Amino acid sequence: MSTDDKVRNAAEKAKGAVKETTGKVTGDRSLEAEGRIDQSKADLKQAGEKVKDSLRD
């Protein structure tokens, strides 16, 4: 996995965590769910990159 992909995935996961926390604090269930979705997307992208890396080896 390239460093750029790692950074982008980490940034997306962090953005999701902020949205989730903000949603919890403000009581906005929609924003909280959106944050969890963003985090899940980042995790899936990272897993895909790891699979690609393992296939290259």
- pLDDT tens string 4-57: 888 999 999 999 999 999 999 999 999 999 999 999 999 999 998 888 888 886
pLDDT digits (tens, 9 = 90+) for 42-52: 999 999 888 88
pTM (predicted TM-score): 0.83
Six-digit token string for 2:
């390239």
Residues in CB range of 50: below 8 A, 6 or more apart: 1
Distance CA 27, CA 43 (A): 25
With b for 16 or more beta-carbon neighbours within 10 A and e for fewer, the 19-48 pattern comes to bbeebeeeeeeebbebbeebbeebeebbee
